[in-house]
Amino acid sequence: MLWLILVIISAVSGSLSKVLQKVLLKGEDSDPVAFGFIFQLLVAILFLLYALLTQSLHFPMLAGLIFNIVVMSLFYGLGNLFTFKAFKLAEASEVSVIFASSTLWSVVAALFLLGEKLNSMKIVGMLLVIAGLIAINYRKSKWKVNKGHTFAFLAAMLFGIAFTNDAFIITRFKSVASYMIIAFALPAFTTLVFRPKSIKNVPYFFNKKIIVRLLICGFFYFLAALTIFEAYKRGGLASIISPISESSLVFTVIISYIFLREKNHVWNKVLGTILTLGGILLLI
């Protein structure tokens, strides 16, 4: 069950990173696309340093993986761009509800790409996790389908499939860190290709007050990515890891409640937490 411990570490560290991302993106001059570029590049550098320190830097022959690497770069790059557009055109709570479907896409992709199988109990567990994530994010509003919802759906689909694609590629690498260098660096530049004008907003994140938070945020995300793919390398199934890792939202809610004093919609969050944890128990 070492893989499960690694997934939990990933969920907790990922939630800490998300809370810090909220703080970093609160500023009026904070450009989400510029942040996506510099943040992903920072995490890639952290993985490079880790690989050098642990002497685990190793790249296999990539000839047979070119298609998967192109898919990874495009899916994460477009996913980041669609996420930005979704939050700009639709309510944040509505976008978050749609994002819960990324888990479903990961599971479906794992069934076809990785040949994994699910029994009825695990299917129920997965659905409970998704229901919990929806409950946490649900807010009463008059939903009117718009382009923002479409972008949110596309982003969820791209991120979900990209995770399973990562799991497929990483089996060819001896070390997780070596692949993560590519997995963060390429999408960083791909994102910028779609919004080149955002490069002028990058210096904002080198402010003395911001850069320390950025480094801490990047470290937690580095730890989350390292542990989740180590979990897969150590026997965890992508179709199970993905729903459990999404429980990071539960930790994000708890941490935000404690440190950011976000006390709105408490009962939604309590119900969502119970459903999510119940689903995780069925998955393991």
Position of tokens 């590519």? 182
Q: What is the pLDDT of residue 12?
A: 86
> Which pLDDT score is estimated for 259?
61
Regions of the chain with pLDDT less than 70: 91-93, 96, 136-137, 139-145, 247-249, 251-253, 255-267, 269, 284
Alpha carbon dihedral 161, 165, 167, 169, in 10-degree steps, equals -170
Residue 252's pLDDT is what?
A: 67
Burial of 121 (0-12, 13-18, 19+ CB in 10 A): exposed
Distance CA 175, CA 160 (A): 22
Task: Supply the pTM of this predicted model.
Answer: 0.81
Determine contact, residues 245/10, Cβ cutoff 8 Å.
Answer: yes
CA distance 135 to 270: 9
Identify the pLDDT of residue 143. 58
Question: Are the C-beta atoms of 174 and 58 separated by less than 8 Å?
Answer: yes
Taking the C-alpha atoms of residue 174 and residue 201, their distance in angstroms, rounded to an integer, is 37
Q: Where are the domains of the chain?
A: 2-283
pLDDT number for residue 161: 93
Give the Å distances, CA to CA, from 259 to 25, 35, 211, 230. 16, 22, 20, 29
